[in-house]
Amino acid sequence: MASHAKLFRTDADRVAPDLRHRDIIQTAMHKYEVVRDQRKMWFQDWPGARQLAAETKWVAVNHLDGFLDQFARNLEARGTKVHWAGDAQQGREIILGILRGKNAKVIVKSKAMTAEEIQLNEAMENAGCEVIESDLGEFIVQLRQEPPYHLVFPAMHLTRGEIKQTFQDKLNDASSDEPEELAGVARRVLRRKYLQADAGITGANFAIADTGMISITENEGNARLTAAMPKTMITLIGIEKVLPRLEDLALFLPMLAAMGTGQPLTGYNTMYGGPRQPDESDGPEEFHVVLLDNSRTLLLADAEQRDALHCIRCGACLNVCPVFRNVGGHTYGTVYGGPIGSVITPHLRGLTQWKHLSEASSLCGACTETCPVKIDLHHHLLQNRRNGSRQKPVGWQKLAFALFAAIAARPAMWLLATRVARFGQRFHGLLKGTRLDPARAWTKTRDLPPLPKQSFHEWWKERK
């Protein structure tokens, strides 16, 4: 089987020159950038808000044990069952166990990247359950049997025409590609499923320690229906999603909306603190919260990159990343794409297999500059590269750098090398594009600029 690195290169080579793909992404990003910048201006002091958000997450992550304990105790006091999942398999087993106990066969699910992370849908389907994604974008990619393309916009790579075609092929519905019609098709299917569902599974955006509540922010109301209609609600949430206080949401909800979708606030913001209480008219009879580690504590133990746990999954770093915009979300081959994905995936899934993601970066720093919680993303990519090369340096790279260091440290050799290179480049045109071209990996997609006719040393000597 091809390695993840090889698959990445093959897919990147295929997608990057695809002008149609580029056009769809650029159009979507341009619209996003305009509204995002408007919303940032609604903050009285955007740099101050970023600083406060970074400090709040720093406190939360650096005292994670205490806040998680407080969060769990507060939830349990209102009758919620809290489960701790060390890894993906444990997460799946806990949820399948709950579903078996309830004899649940029809499951509605709202957007949860943690569920993608532990491949929960496949596990539930293998156990004989029918699983329906209720977020519109997720519903579309589920019908197409594709993974989500983006953290926030799962079907961003599709045109309205393609969505209409998918609905016609899979549901025999959709008479036009008007957004209202397409949303209507999904609504007709989903409304029936909410009523039939035995259990609802959600993710969560934040876990509030001092009140013991989860916060879900969304635009379609689907997470609300997923949580409220079935008798059993299960929330799968990464342990890093903790915020210390309820009042922190006053900053984080508008910040996530501004950077995620360019809105002042998303359409629906809901807090869940437990199952339905005797004096309440709706809500689930049973509420389970599954707290997922799955290597997050390994990242917590890494003082250099711990701040990657501050991520609020707004997707803003993906949107500004020139690599993501060219190679697209599916090329990453992992749940979390873009700069944040390239930083955390080697921690979550192994450095050896996933270090190539950190190499696929121009290190322009646009991700770090945009991140609302000030994660030092591009330096973390560099650190991953360093860790990767320490782990198992590639032989030819070691040799090439040793040779370069030896030549660069000796002026006479450097002078000789530049003369040889200048002479040799006259013949490069003959070899260009052939297997004998030593620079073919470079010249395949870029120009090789000619060396100047005179070096600085020669110019200086001449002037003297």
**Which listed residue (182, 190, 375, 381) binds ligand SF4 by CB under 6 A?**
375
Of 321, 304, 295, 301, nearest in space to 151 by CA? 321
Q: Which of 311, 327, 335, 357 binds ligand SF4 (CB under 6 A)?
A: 311
Residue number with CB closer to ligand SF4 (208 or 340): 340
Q: Which residues make beta-bridge pairs with 106?
A: 130
Q: Does 312 bind ligand SF4 (CB under 6 A)?
A: yes
Letters for 142-181 (x = contact with ligand SF4 by CB under 6 A, - = none) are ----------------------------------------
Rounded Cα gap, residues 104 and 330, in angstroms: 32
> Looking at beta carbons only, is 120 or 255 nearer to ligand SF4?
255
Residue by residue, DSSP assigns 37-53 as HHHHHHSS-HHHHHHHH
CB of 136 to ligand SF4, least distance (A): 21
The pair of three-digit structure tokens given for residue 266, joined into one six-digit string = 């998303």
Identify which range of 162-170, 180-188, 306-314, 415-423 contacts ligand SF4 by CB under 6 A: 306-314
Determine, following the binding rule CB under 6 A, whether residue 300 of this chain makes contact with ligand SF4.
Answer: no
> Which window, 74-82, 169-177, 225-233, 309-317, contacts ligand SF4 (CB under 6 A)?
309-317
- Minimum Å gap between C-beta 260 and ligand SF4 is 8
339-358: contacts with ligand SF4 (CB under 6 A)? 340
Per CB under 6 A, 371 contacts ligand SF4: yes
User: Which contacts of 89-96 are long-range, i.e. CB under 8 A and separated by 24 or more positions?
Assistant: 89/118, 91/118, 91/120, 91/236, 91/290, 91/292, 91/294, 92/118, 92/119, 92/120, 92/123, 94/290, 95/120, 95/123, 95/124, 95/201, 95/234, 95/236, 95/290, 96/123, 96/124, 96/127
**What is the DSSP annotation of 265-295?**
S-SEEEEE-SSPPTT-SSS-SEEEEEEE-TT
Nearer to ligand SF4, 253 or 312 (CB): 312
CB of 293 to ligand SF4, least distance (A): 19
Tell me the C-alpha distance between 315 and 207, whole Å.
19
Between the alpha carbon of residue 229 and those of residues 114, 185, 223, 412, the distances in Å are: 22, 20, 10, 78
According to CB under 6 A, which one of 314, 357, 360, 366 is a site residue for ligand SF4? 314
Using rule CB under 6 A, residue 366 touches ligand SF4: no
# chain residues binding ligand SF4, by CB under 6 A: 14
Output DSSP code: residue 178. Answer: -
Q: Does 223 bind ligand SF4 (CB under 6 A)?
A: no
CA distances from 217 to 16, 28, 237, 272 (A): 33, 21, 14, 11
- Interaction of residue 309 with ligand SF4, rule CB under 6 A: no
Considering only residues 233, 316, 357, 366, which one is a binding residue for ligand SF4 as defined by CB under 6 A? 316
Say how far apart CA 228 and CA 286 lie, in whole Å. 11
132 binds ligand SF4 (CB under 6 A): no
Q: Which stretch binds ligand SF4 (CB under 6 A): 37-45, 182-190, 282-290, 307-315?
A: 307-315
Q: Please name every residue paired with 216 in a beta bridge, in sequence order, or none if there are none.
A: 270
Pick the closer one to ligand SF4 by CB: 372 or 388.
372
- 98 or 371: CB nearest ligand SF4: 371
Mention every residue, 6+ apart, whose C-beta is less than 8 A from residue 352: 388, 391, 392
In angstroms, what is the minimal distance from the CB of 66 to ligand SF4?
23
Closest CA to 445 of 68, 104, 16: 16
Q: What are phi and psi of 42, to 5 degrees?
A: -70, -20
Q: Least distance in Å: CB of 256 to ligand SF4?
A: 8
Which positions ≥6 away from 24 have C-beta within 8 Å?
156, 157, 158, 159
Q: Give the pairing of strands 81-85 and 286-292.
A: parallel
Asked if 315 touches ligand SF4 (CB under 6 A), the answer is yes
The one among 148, 284, 372, 388 contacting ligand SF4 by CB under 6 A: 372
Nearer to ligand SF4, 284 or 315 (CB): 315
Q: Which is nearer to ligand SF4, 213 or 314 (CB)?
A: 314
Q: Which residues pair with 130 in a beta bridge?
A: 106
Collapsing DSSP to helix, strand or coil, 313 comes out as coil
From the list 95, 90, 94, 91, the residue with the least C-alpha distance to 107 is 95
Residue 373 within binding range of ligand SF4, rule CB under 6 A: yes
Judged by CB under 6 A, the residue of 99, 104, 190, 317 near ligand SF4 is 317
- Ranges of beta strands (E only) in 12-120 are 81-85, 106-109
Residue 229 interacts with ligand SF4 (CB under 6 A)?
Answer: no
Q: Which of 81, 160, 313, 379 binds ligand SF4 (CB under 6 A)?
A: 313
Least Cβ distance, residue 259 to ligand SF4 (angstroms): 6
Tell me the C-alpha to C-alpha distance, in Å, between residue 2 and each of 352, 426, 459. Answer: 14, 38, 50
Q: Which stretch binds ligand SF4 (CB under 6 A): 41-49, 99-107, 195-203, 371-379?
A: 371-379
Handedness of CA 448, 366, 39, 337 (dihedral sign): positive
Pick the piece of the chain touching ligand SF4 (CB under 6 A) from 122-130, 264-272, 369-377, 395-403.
Answer: 369-377
Q: Which residues bind ligand SF4 (CB under 6 A)?
A: 311-317, 340, 370-373, 375, 377
